[in-house]
Amino acid sequence: MKNVFVIGLNDYNHERLKRLRGADQIAFHGIIAPAAVYDTEDFDIPAMLDEARATLSNFDGTIDAIVGYMDFPVSTILPILCAEFGIRSVSLEALLKCEHKFWSRTVQREVIPDNVPDFTYFDPFDDGALGRIGGSGMSFPFFVKPIKSSGSRLAFRIDTPEDFDYAVARFREEIGTIAEPFDVVLDAADLPEEIRAVNGSCCMAEQVIGGRQCTLEGYVFNGEVVPYGIVDSIRYPQVLSFFYYLYPSQLPERIQKRMRDITVKVMEHIGYDNSAFNIEFFWDEVQDRIWLLEINTRVAQSHCDLFDKVDGVSHQQVTVDLGLGQRPDMPHREGAFNVGAEFFYRVFFGDATVARAPTTEEVEAAAARVPGTYIASQVTEGMRLSDLPEQDSYSFAVACIWMGAENQSKLLYNYDRVLKRLDYEFTDIEG
């Protein structure tokens, strides 16, 4: 039996991991409680590392892999722990060339300049920041986000000076919850001086890019970059919030090939190895131009069920196999459905109180209307929507719904059927 330690392992993912190929020869062990990485935005990195070290050091057996499938802080803790316990993994520096947004853009521009928007960094505590951004040659509109962003948290489109003032006020109030733990990770890395100067309290400003958005899932094994699937990211009309993820991608094959070629080029240049990743892209159909939005150093957890439904197993298979030092045994189109999706049921309030949320029995009854459906309600009665972690700046996702079907149109039809059985009510609505 192999012993695989999973950061933030919860019961749902434990059951899914036990369905992977070869899982009958693996014992999965959790390190760091799920609540410490799922249900909070306050991350005490030193305490997390100490807790993990104690668990691993006291384990009476072999430590064959240490893995995770979540964004910050899990993704950045992994290479530190793997290095300390002699487990093969991506280096911390190569990982930060993806996760430190300014360093990542700088490295990308060296090899794929036509696929990278104009960008600069700024200090949100600098009253002259907007002028410095303009001095770099950037003009409205542009996007701003923290140097270490997580999901779409604290990401804003800036069309006017007033928009920038609002974003800066939010940064000054909230960026510390990201900056302080990220700076702990930066201190553990061997960074170029020009990058060390751009710490976790800094932010990025980037030219507005857009088009049809997707995410390419891939991995690197012994230096070989392997893209294995592309998932479309479809937004609600006229807003920036995601409506659903769709797998496999509906983009033209020639566009998918170009994305795969860009992926190989940039990941080889970064020196990323022996780990999973995903890259978010835009395809601007008018200009027939591909933009690289960002690189994430993990499988996308939201896509696990999509790969399970379409390919026959969650792509956590990639994470576990790489952690064990072996080429991933990922099947292709062996699942029960032709297409899979994760839908986000959102409300577009400034904030509100949840007056009613569906009961567990109601959620299960709604899911039972369509075979293969899984629903994760995100709220409970009496809570404020602003207490939800990891939300974008424009909406709140109150439920996530995973489904499979024979085609995209049937997915949308079934989603509407299920949604009608989910009764949410809100009071004290703001905005």
Same domain, 72 and 167: no
With 80 as the cut, is the pLDDT of residue 38 above it? no
Arithmetic mean of pLDDT, 361-369: 96
CA distance 328 to 7: 20
Is the residue at 258 inside a domain? yes
The string of DSSP codes covering 198-229 is S-TT-EEEEE---SEEEEEEEEEETTEEEEEE
Q: How many CA atoms lie within 13 A of 121 on its CB side?
A: 21
Question: By residue range, what is the domain housing residue 235?
Answer: 212-430
Same domain, 91 and 179: no
CATH number at residue 260: 3.30.470.20
Same domain, 131 and 255: no
CATH number at residue 73: 3.40.50.20
Same domain, 182 and 152: yes
Helices (H) and strands (E) in the chain, counts: 15, 17
Is the residue at 112 inside a domain? no
Is the residue at 128 inside a domain? yes
- Give the model's confidence band at 393: pLDDT under 50 very low, under 70 low, under 90 confident, else very high: confident
Is the residue at 311 inside a domain? yes
Same domain, 216 and 182: no
27, 144, 234 from 296: Cα distances, Å: 27, 18, 19
* Of 221, 319, 278, 301, nearest in space to 23 by CA: 319
Q: How many domains does the chain have?
A: 3
Is the residue at 336 inside a domain? yes
With 80 as the cut, is the pLDDT of residue 41 above it? no
With 90 as the cut, is the pLDDT of residue 213 above it? yes
Q: Which residue has the tokens 């201190």?
A: 187
Last residue in a domain, options 207, 242, 267: 207
Who has greater pLDDT, 71 or 403? 403
pLDDT digits (tens, 9 = 90+) for 162-205: 999 999 999 999 999 899 999 999 999 999 999 999 999 999 99
Same domain, 40 and 178: no
pLDDT value of residue 299: 95
CB 180 within 8 A of CB 108: no
Is the residue at 281 inside a domain? yes
pLDDT, the chain, mean:
95
Same domain, 58 and 124: no
Arithmetic mean of pLDDT, 371-394: 90
- Show the CA angle centred on residue 418, arms to residues 423 and 216, nearest 5°: 115
Q: Which residue has the tokens 């379409």?
A: 310
Encode burial over 226-258: b for 16+ CB neighbours within 10 A, e otherwise. Answer: bbbbbbbbbeeeeebbbbbbbbbbebeeebbeb
Same domain, 325 and 414: yes
Last residue in a domain, options 153, 187, 207: 207
Is the residue at 105 inside a domain? no
Same domain, 186 and 231: no
**Chain center to CA of 347:** 21
Same domain, 182 and 248: no
Q: Which residue has the tokens 């390190």?
A: 31
CATH number at residue 203: 3.30.1490
- Show the CA angle centred on residue 309, arms to residues 305 and 314, nearest 5°: 45
pLDDT digits (tens, 9 = 90+) for 130-142: 999 999 999 999 9
CB 398 within 8 A of CB 378: yes
- Give the model's confidence band at 431: pLDDT under 50 very low, under 70 low, under 90 confident, else very high: confident
66, 256, 299 from 4: Cα distances, Å: 6, 33, 17
Residues paired with 225 in a beta bridge: 220
Arithmetic mean of pLDDT, 397-424: 96
Same domain, 317 and 288: yes
With 70 as the cut, is the pLDDT of residue 151 above it? no
Residues paired with 156 in a beta bridge: 144
pLDDT digits (tens, 9 = 90+) for 247-286: 999 999 999 999 999 999 999 999 999 999 999 999 999 9
Same domain, 230 and 363: yes
Last residue in a domain, options 192, 207, 222: 207
- Give the model's confidence band at 34: pLDDT under 50 very low, under 70 low, under 90 confident, else very high: confident
pLDDT digits (tens, 9 = 90+) for 71-102: 888 999 999 999 999 999 999 999 999 999 99
Is the residue at 31 inside a domain? yes
